[in-house]
Amino acid sequence: MDVRWITFTSPPERRGVLIPIEASRDVPFEIKRVYAVVRPDPGLARGAHAHRALTQVMVALAGRCDVRLDDGETQVVVALDDPARGLLLEPMVWHEMTGFSTDCVLLVLAADHYDEADYIRDRQEFLKAARSSK
């Protein structure tokens, strides 16, 4: 499956790294929700679901983690470890985050408000839906 990264353009700054992220410019949607996952338990996994319609961009503002992406046919594991690079998470992609560093802070920009009905949390249901949509 394709992995789509978005590189954010940082202005030259001597005082630290500044990363502007503008809706519809740096990410391909109007941002309706922002959430952060702050120092998740390094021994546990997060995610393990897909969204029916939601598009998101995930950025490791600090630290790192691995993200397994799976479109129902192929899987890929990528490292999220650069605050200047966002991972585009499209609808109907099963994703699971593991390997968190103890300092990990994930920022997630979402195209819509929280809606539990948009989640597919059951793996078999996801595989069935992903295969029938191809």
Using the minimum distance from each CB to ligand TYD, give the nearer residue, 113 or 134: 113
Binder among 19, 21, 46, 127 for ligand TYD (CB under 6 A): 46
Cα 70 to Cα 9: distance, rounded to the nearest angstrom: 28
Q: Which of 49, 51, 95, 113 is catalytic?
A: 49
Determine if 52 is a binding residue for ligand TYD (CB under 6 A): no
Q: Is 11 exposed, middle or buried (0-12, 13-18, 19+ CB in 10 A)?
A: exposed
> Is 49 an active-site residue?
yes
List the interface residues with ligand TYD, window 101-120 (CB under 6 A). 114
Determine if 5 is a binding residue for ligand TYD (CB under 6 A): no
Cα 32 to Cα 108: distance, rounded to the nearest angstrom: 11
Cα 38 to Cα 110: distance, rounded to the nearest angstrom: 17
Binder among 47, 63, 72, 86 for ligand TYD (CB under 6 A): 47
Q: Taking a C-beta distance cutoff of 8 angstroms, is the pair 36, 107 a contact?
A: yes
**In 32-117, which ranges are continuous DSSP H helix?**
none
Cα 77 to Cα 46: distance, rounded to the nearest angstrom: 14
Structure tokens of 43?
């021994």
The contact mask relative to ligand TYD for 54-93 (x = CB under 6 A, - = no) is ----------------------------------------
Q: Which stretch binds ligand TYD (CB under 6 A): 15-23, 30-38, 62-70, 79-87?
A: 30-38
Q: Which residues bind ligand TYD (CB under 6 A)?
A: 33, 35, 37, 46-47, 114
Question: Among all residues, which ones are annotated catalytic?
Answer: 49
